Amino acid sequence: LPRMIDNGRVELHGTIGTGAYGQVYLAIDRRYSQPAWRAVKCLRRNGLDARQKHFQRREIALHRLASSHPSIVHMDRLIEDGEHLYVVMDYGEEGDLFAMITDKQRYVGDDELIRSVFLQLVDGIAFLHSLGIAHRDVKPENIVCSEHGTRVRICDFGLATSEVESGEFGCGSTFYIAPECLGDWDPEQKSYPTRPGDVWSLGVILVNLVCGRNPWRIASPTDESFNAFLRDPYFLRRILPISEDCLYVLTRIFTLEPSERASLPELRQLITEVRSFTMTEEELLRAHAAA
C-alpha cells in the first residue's frame, strides 16, 4: 500500500533507486492544484555519526543552491518527519541517461541530438562551478531524461563539494573519475582541484553518447587502454568510430594535468564547431579493411 508523508500530501509508491543513504521513491505530490509525479529521496536521520550528518547536510544544501537551473533536477522541498528527511524532487519519467544510451541506443549517429544533450550537461556543470560547487560524480546514472531523451538533468549531489581543493581521493565512479582524483599517479600528491574532474567526466560521457561504450575502464597507470591513449591519442580512433573533430575535443579534455584541461567555455565552443562526431562511411570502410 502507498505510504503517506507531509500530512497526506505526498503518497510514496515503489522504489526507483537505492543507495548507502537510503532509498528513492516514486511519489504523487498533491501539494499543488495539479497532482504531479515526483522522485522522493528518503534519508535516515538516526544512527549517523558526525561525518555522515555533515555529508547529508552538504548534499541537501548544495543541491538546493543549484536547483534553479534547467539542467539540474529541481529540488521542490524538504520534509522532516521523525526519523527521516524526505527530499522532494522532479521526476525524470524516462529513467537515466545510462538506460537511454545502453538499452534504447538513442544517440549513436545523431550528431545534433548528441550536441544538444551534451551542451545541456556542459551548461549545468558550468552553472554549478559558477556557484563554487563541484559535482564529483557526473555519470549517466546521475543524469535523468525526459522528452524522448532530448532533455537531460543532473542529479545526486551526494559527493558534491564547495571545496576548491580536496584530499578525499576516490570520489566518483570508476569509468568516469579523473586521474588526479584517484591519487595513484603521484605518491607525493596530497590533494586535487575539484572542478576539473567534472570536465573529465563529461569527456567520458561524450564517448558514451557518440559510441555507446567507454574508452577505458579507469584512468589509472594500471589500465592498458588508458596508457595506450597517453602514448598516442590516435589510439582512440583505432578502437572507436569517432571523427577527427571529436578526437580533438577529447584530447582537450583528457589531459593528465588538470590545469591544462579545457575550460567549460572552451569546451562549449569546441562542441558547437564539431562538424560530425562519428567517422564517415568511407573512414569506417577503411578502418574495417585495415582490421
**Residues with active-site annotation:** 137
Cell of 74: 529541481
Closest CA relative to residue 272, chosen from 155, 133, 119:
119
Q: Residues 143, 147, 151, 157: what is their CA dihedral angle, to the nearest 10 degrees?
A: -30
CB 243 within 8 A of CB 249: no
Query: Is 139 assigned to a binding site?
Result: no
Residue 119 gets the label, from left (phi > 0), alpha (psi -120 to 50) or beta, of alpha
| The 3-state secondary structure of 246-264, one letter per residue | HHHHHHHHCCCCHHHCCCH
**CA–CA gap between residue 121 and residue 123 (Å, rounded):** 5
Residues in CB range of 3: below 8 A, 6 or more apart:
11, 12
User: Phi/psi of residue 264, each to 5°?
Assistant: -65, -40
125 sits in which H/E element: helix 111-130
Binding residues: 41
Binding residues for ATP: 41
